[in-house]
Amino acid sequence: MSRNINESVLTAFKVLVAIFLAFLFGYIVLYIMGYDPVVAYGSLIKGAFGSKRGFAETLISTTPLIFGSLGFILAFQCGLFNMGLEGQIAIGGIVAAYLGYTIPGLPPFIHITICIIGAAAGGALWGLGPGFLKARFGIHEVIGTIMMNYIAFDVSSYLVSTHGPMKDRLTDMPASPFIHDSAKIIRIWKGTRLHWGIFLAIFFSFVVWFLLFRTRIGYKLRAVGKNQFAAEAGGINVPRYMILAMVLSGLFGGIAGGVEILGIHYRLFAAFSPGYGWDAIAVSLLGLLSPIGIIGSAFLFGFLRSGSILMQAIAGVSKDMISVITGVIIFFMGMSDPVGNFIKDKLLRKLYGNSV
Amino acid sequence: MGILFNILNLAIFTSTLRITTPILFAALGGCMTERSGVINIGLEGMMLMGAFAAAVGSYFWGPWLGVLFGIFVGGIMGLLHAFMSVTVKANQIISATAINIFALGFPNLIVPVLWKGHYAMTPVVPVIKSIQIPVIADIPVLGPIIGNLNPIVYIAFLLVPVVHYVLFKTRLGLRIRAVGEHPKAADTVGINVALMRYIAVTVSGLLAGFGGAFLSVAYQSQFSQAMTAGRGFIGLAAMIFGRWRPFGALVACLIFAFADAFQASAQAAGVPIPPDLLLTLPYLLTLIALAGLIGKKAVGPAANGKPYFKD
């Protein structure tokens, strides 16, 4: 028991150190470049928490980050890297928007459900390709998913381009028509864009937790991730579970994009995601690859996304500062396990001699 | 038929060579790093940082120093990945992803500081001009294609035999490959596993930086956000397609680049396919080529991606 407590204290410590170091790094970079780091960080916090709207935007950004991270985790637990979330988000958005403006006269609950299922299916299809290539041909899923990203981006800009099939003929904007009211996810906080999606995201976090840790499928999926060869020897159909993991992973990417369209934008335009698919990687690692843990880390990144807009306006620091902090957090999280083990090892050896 | 003729003019071969160049740098970098047993999907980010550094360098010190600066910064990023992969023994994909995401945002932080009012894009910078190779440029048909190119294009193609020679004909190359296949055995006979991997990964960063520099101070004349557009990854795919060998990678790069040149030329010739869809051609072809190539599984160096624990 005490060992468990020690472990979780150590883990929490690890996460906090990574966050602290990332912000420290950001502070130094800002300082060197002649910005005022205090003003920058101050406006970051003020932007995210200083107003009702800001706080709502924080939760709004948290939503796709949770969905995206659930996708990343599902692949990762099977030992795979889904770098294709950004593309799967784009596809989910395309399908949701299309179903949202073409199907008329449905009750909202049914219409929204159809759109989200469609978005999920689109994302799942986008994950299926690289999953199949990996399982059948051994093509690294990173290359497969990245190629699928670029294809998704180009397809989505084609669809809303001047002569594209989803282009709204009534405006000059490269965007699709607006979805019907029945497809819009209901907003829950007056005067803000906050919608029900956040609860859906939290609900699905528990669903994925259950799937991974309380079902046979989840057990086998994780077994493949732990040791592919042992899993195979144990009679698990490894290629099948790899494909399944990528499909499930893409599915959540698709939902992230779909909910974003149905809850926020109400229409499709190219590159509507500001990079949630990439943030999701950092969110997942910081959330220790736990479907519950990522609720917290998604909130942290939602805060960064939301606050960065005011930071850009007040301190003049590009909102891409977030990518830098994201990169550094991933970096330190990647470092934390090996370094932690190394320190523990050294410490134990010092305490007990070479017998351990 | 007429339209096909318009697409397949001589210019398409010249632009194929130009488009090959940055991918080739990444592919050669991929050969180095993966032969030593370290996966480096961070080539994309290293290339992007190289492109940015080269543009900055070119603006302040002229194009050639800019290129050197781009190579240097690429190498620093390579060194960072080597440190993470070899010394820290972190997950190599995670380390490289950190580099890729970092590179996506970092230039945007610097650009407005160096150039007021600029965002996500540097001003136009001095570029390296194409050169005419005296005798070769006079050969009929072939001359106009290969006789008048950017010096960096020639360098990239010359690096193919160089990397091949280093990897397969020198002691250093033998050691690098040994470390990538069986680090324990290599260690037993006294090869410094960590050092070999450091060298290989850093060199891959230098090469990626070079490729990036070509993009911003030769292929184009400025840096813009995410301008590498997946070339680092396509380079890796080409390397796999070429079975981890420089000449094989070159062939793959040429095929991918031809697809890209073809789509650009088709756009210019007014083929009734939407330009955005034509843009997907190189990526689709990469996937199809990788799937079709193999039939059986692609097998890389045995210890690829595995940290080596000395005990």
| Residue closest to B45 by CA, chosen among B231, B254, B275 | B231
Are B294 and A137 within 8 A, CB to CB?
A: yes
Return the pLDDT at A1.
44
* Confidence bin at A356 (pLDDT 50/70/90): very low
The per-residue pLDDT for range B124-171, each reduced to its tens digit, is 999 999 988 888 878 877 777 888 899 999 999 999 999 999 999 999
Q: Say how many Å lie between the first and final Cα of chain B, rounded.
A: 66
* Whether residue B3 has pLDDT greater than 70: no
Is there a contact between B103 and B43 (Cβ–Cβ < 8 Å)?
no
| 3-state secondary structure string across chain A | CHHHHHHHHHHHHHHHHHHHHHHHHHHHHHHHCCCCHHHHHHHHHHHHHCCHHHHHHHHHHHHHHHHHHHHHHHHHCCCCCCCCHHHHHHHHHHHHHHHHHHCCCCCHHHHHHHHHHHHHHHHHHHHHHHHHHHHHHCCCHHHHHHHHHHHHHHHHHHHCCCCCCCCCCCCCCCECCCCCHHHCCCECCCCCCCECHHHHHHHHHHHHHHHHHHCHHHHHHHHHHHCHHHHHHCCCCHHHHHHHHHHHHHHHHHHHHHHHHHHHHCCCECCCCCCHHHHHHHHHHHCCCCCCHHHHHHHHHHHHHHHHHHHHHHHCCCCCHHHHHHHHHHHHHHHHHHHHHHHHHHHHHHHHHHHC
Chain B nearest-CA distance from A181, in A, is: 30
CA distance A63 to A257: 10
CA distance A81 to A229: 18
B310 interfaces chain A, CB cutoff of 8 Å: no
Any bridge partners for residue A187, and if so which? A195
| Residue closest to B126 by CA, chosen among B67, B71, B72 | B67
B157 interfaces chain A, CB cutoff of 8 Å: no
CA distance B85 to B181: 16
- Residues in B closer than 8 angstroms to A137, CB to CB, are 290-291, 294, 297-298
The per-residue pLDDT for range A35-84, each reduced to its tens digit, is 899 999 999 999 999 999 999 999 999 999 999 999 999 999 999 999 99
Residue A324 is nearest to which of B88, B109, B112, comparing CB atoms? B109
* Whether residue B195 has pLDDT greater than 60: yes
Q: In which element (H, E) is residue B92 found?
A: helix B92-114
Please identify among residues 97-156 of chain B the ones whose CB lies closer than 8 Å to any CB of chain A: 97-106, 108-113, 119-120
Please identify among residues 6-35 of chain B the ones whose CB lies closer than 8 Å to any CB of chain A: none
Any bridge partners for residue A94, and if so which? none
Q: What are the structural domain ranges in chain A?
A: 65-308
Distance from chain centroid for Cα A36: 30
Closest chain B residue by Cα to residue A143: B233
| Residue closest to B44 by CA, chosen among B236, B219, B203, B215 | B236
Is there a contact between B30 and B304 (Cβ–Cβ < 8 Å)?
no
CA distance A187 to A196: 6
Return the pLDDT at B132.
85
Most B CBs within 10 A among A36, A142, A242, A333, hence the mutation to make, goes to: A142
Share above pLDDT 90 across residues of chain B, in percent, rounded to a whole number: 64
Please identify among residues 174-213 of chain B the ones whose CB lies closer than 8 Å to any CB of chain A: none
- Residues in B closer than 8 angstroms to A338, CB to CB, are 88-90
Please identify among residues 206-245 of chain B the ones whose CB lies closer than 8 Å to any CB of chain A: 225, 229-230, 233-234, 236-237, 240
Quick one: average pLDDT of B280-290?
87
Please identify among residues 288-307 of chain B the ones whose CB lies closer than 8 Å to any CB of chain A: 290-291, 294, 297-299
Are B93 and A337 within 8 A, CB to CB?
A: no
- Beta strand B131-132 with B148-149: parallel, antiparallel or unpaired? antiparallel
CA distance A320 to A323: 5
Are A158 and B276 within 8 A, CB to CB?
A: yes
Return the pLDDT at B298.
65
To the nearest 10 degrees (0 to 180), the angle between helices B151-169 and B193-214 is: 160
Is there a contact between B181 and B299 (Cβ–Cβ < 8 Å)?
no
- Residues in A closer than 8 angstroms to B223, CB to CB, are none
Closest chain B residue by Cα to residue A279: B101
Chain A nearest-CA distance from B202, in A, is: 18
Position A180, amino acid? H
Are B105 and A81 within 8 A, CB to CB?
A: no
Share above pLDDT 70 across residues of chain A, in percent, rounded to a whole number: 97
In Å, the largest CA–CA distance within chain B is: 68
Q: What are the structural domain ranges in chain B?
A: 23-235
B93 interfaces chain A, CB cutoff of 8 Å: yes
CA distance B71 to B59: 16
Q: What angle do CA B306, B25, B141 make, to 5 degrees?
A: 145
Are B106 and A338 within 8 A, CB to CB?
A: no
